[in-house]
């Protein structure tokens, strides 16, 4: 004769399953979120790299690109429209209505909802022309960034740069040593930079090194990442 489970035994078993699920589900959900984030970041880096390759075939190497002499929105739009826009699958142009307090006011949205917002960078205070196209990746689909208070550089936003000097695309990465920006840096440099380090002591609005850290770690979010 087969022995059946009593109602009490079934309830106890279900209770144990519920407790285990309650303990493990948050961990699984967070792990899934990290996997999704790293996949999106790797994808946008790859898509941008491929767009640059196509642009270089038409417009010459990055070092030959004409970034103009001004940091104006008009010049920014000219640069983006010539060297980048035609080489992405764009579904919408995004642009803020004014420049009041904003530094990334023009760009476009891709089919997966990612927005790329651009700005020109260089030694403007010294009167030098732009040397870098900065790319702010925004996974929230915003029209423009008018305040750094809206940013989270460890989850929603990541900064990339197309540098004429280096002739390549790279993630923003500052180390403590002079000249280590987007150059030779260690993992410790990326994490511990006093202003832009990817660690919990730095405000999320300034963790610009986090994209470089994820790439450095082989497109993974490790345990010391400020999640």
List pLDDT tens digits, range 170-186: 999 987 665 555 567 88
Q: Can you tell me the distance from the alpha carbon of 105 to that of 80, in angstroms, rounded to the nearest whole number?
A: 12
User: In this structure, what is the dihedral angle of CA atoms 51, 146, 190, 154, given to the nearest 10 degrees?
Assistant: -90
β-bridge partners, 194: none
Mean pLDDT of 57-77: 95
Poorest-pLDDT segment among 48-62, 88-102, 163-177:
88-102
What is the pLDDT confidence band of residue 4, given thresholds at 50, 70 and 90? low
Q: CA–CA separation, 117 vs 121, rounded Å?
A: 13
pLDDT at 21: 72
pLDDT bin (cut points 50, 70, 90) of residue 224 is very high
Per-residue tokens: 140: 């929230």
Least confident of 24-33, 49-58, 109-118, 156-165: 24-33
What gap in Å lies between CA 227 and CA 155, rounded to an integer? 8
pTM given for the model? 0.85
């Amino acid at each position: 004769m087969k022995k059946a489970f009593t109602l009490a035994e079934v309830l106890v078993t279900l209770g144990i399953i519920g407790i285990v699920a309650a303990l493990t589900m948050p961990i699984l959900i967070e792990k899934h979120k990290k996997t999704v984030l790293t996949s999106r970041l790797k994808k946008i880096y790859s898509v941008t790299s491929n767009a640059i390759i196509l642009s270089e075939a038409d417009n010459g190497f990055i070092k030959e690109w004409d970034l103009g002499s001004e940091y104006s929105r008009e010049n920014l739009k000219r640069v983006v429209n010539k060297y980048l826009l035609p080489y992405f699958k764009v579904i919408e142009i995004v642009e803020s209505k004014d420049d009041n307090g904003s530094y990334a006011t023009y760009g476009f949205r891709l089919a997966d909802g990612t927005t790329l917002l651009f700005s020109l960078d260089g030694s403007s205070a010294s009167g030098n022309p732009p040397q870098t196209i900065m790319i702010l990746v925004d996974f929230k689909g915003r029209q423009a960034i008018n305040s750094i208070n809206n940013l989270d550089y460890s989850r929603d936003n990541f900064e990339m740069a197309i540098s004429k000097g280096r002739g390549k695309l790279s993630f923003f990465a500052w180390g403590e040593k002079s000249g280590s920006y987007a150059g030779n840096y260690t993992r410790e440099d990326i994490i511990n930079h006093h202003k832009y380090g990817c660690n919990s002591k730095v405000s999320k609005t300034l963790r610009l090194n986090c994209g470089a850290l994820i790439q450095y770690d082989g497109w993974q979010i490790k345990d010391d990442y400020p999640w």
